Amino acid sequence: MLLDSASMYFRAFYGVPDTITAPDGTPVNAVRGFLDNIAFLVRTRRPARLVACLDADWRPAFRVAALASYKAHRANFDGSEDVPDLLTPQVPIIVDCLEALGVAHFGVPGYEADDVIGALAAHADGPVEVVTGDRDLFQVVDDARDVKVLYIGRGVAKLQVVDDAWLTAKYGITGATYADFATLRGDPSDGLPGVTGVGERTAADLVGRHGGVDGIIAALDDGSLTPNATRKVAAAREYLLAAPGVVRVATDLPLPDHDATLPREPADPERLVKLSETWGLDSPLNRLLGALADDSA
């Protein structure tokens, strides 16, 4: 199981009231929600291995170089990510808890968590479940390799299991062509404008007919696109040449050595007790420890 950690703790932050605080008044709503979500996933999905994937770089230079608009609207003047003030101090607490628990967690310098997930999924030697609330990662779905996404857009308790059949029913494409589909459709939340006038249905049709962005541009050049598609694709040619490298997750990054085995007991019990006392996390940590210790699967 691969966790898109930022996606999960952002959703926990907005899904759990910020009136939930530590003894010193520090909000811990995102921490509690994040831990409870992991407990639910461990209890209901029973993974043997788990990695909490982190953003070592939320806006990698190679993506900005290819497309300057990438996440530009979410950047502060100093280049840092615009994160809610009440969430910022909670992220180190989450990492401290993962470390004390013994749950594998890491990012890779110069890359996003999506890339870490993409690389781990690409090199996995067994079934993979990716937990995320972002559709970007639908591109890693691969029925042949048993890679699925547990989509938590409506909450962890209402997660949707996304496989190629689900994607075909929903969009008319598969995981293998999702990145091309997403490039055409665009995503304003990531600063990806897409192709003007091309929505999900047209994007799926173009991908289905031409195999992806490269095939669509080739069809533009050889004159085999319809007049309507020709006009739209020609206007977006420069974007289409740059965007696929931004949208597609990297899979060849240098992953650190790690042990993804799901721990049955905490790696550092004393530190975990200290964290629990300092931040008022007895209940969520006990629920997670109970889920980790349960060997009934």
Q: How far apart are CA 81 and CA 55, in angstroms?
A: 11
CA-nearest of 143, 136, 217 to 181 is 136
Q: How many CB atoms lie within 10 A of CB 241?
A: 13
Domains 2-163+250-293 and 175-247 share a fold: no
Question: How confident is the model over 236-257, as pLDDT tens digits?
Answer: 999 999 999 999 999 999 999 9
Euclidean distance between CA atoms 2 and 128, whole angstroms: 7
The CATH superfamily of 175-247 is 5' to 3' exonuclease, C-terminal subdomain (1.10.150.20)
DSSP letters along 161-211, please?
EE-HHHHHHHHS--HHHHHHHHHHH-BGGGTB---TT--HHHHHHHHHHHS
Are 96 and 90 in contact by the 8 Å Cβ rule? The answer is no
From the number of C-beta atoms within 10 Å of its C-beta (0-12, 13-18, 19+), residue 156 rates as buried
For residue 288, what are the contacts with CB-CB under 8 A and spacing of at least 6?
35, 36, 38, 39, 42, 101
Class of the CATH-defined domain 2-163+250-293: alpha beta
pLDDT tens, the chain, 297 aa long: 999 999 999 999 999 999 999 999 999 999 999 999 999 999 999 999 999 999 999 999 999 999 999 999 999 988 889 999 999 999 999 999 999 999 999 999 999 999 999 999 999 999 999 999 999 999 999 999 999 999 999 999 999 999 999 999 999 999 999 999 999 999 998 999 999 999 999 999 999 999 999 999 999 999 999 999 999 999 999 999 999 999 999 999 999 999 999 999 999 999 999 999 999 999 999 999 999 998 654
Instruction: State how far the Cα of 83 lies from the Cα of 154, in Å rounded to an integer.
Output: 21
Of 83, 91, 82, 84, nearest to 34 by C-alpha is: 91
Indicate the domain borders of the chain: 2-163+250-293, 175-247
Number of residues that make up the chain: 297
C-alpha pair distances (Å), 257 with each of 59, 197, 254: 24, 45, 9
- Sign, Cα dihedral of 270, 275, 277, 283: negative
pLDDT at 206: 96
Measured distance CA(138)–CA(150) in Å, rounded: 10
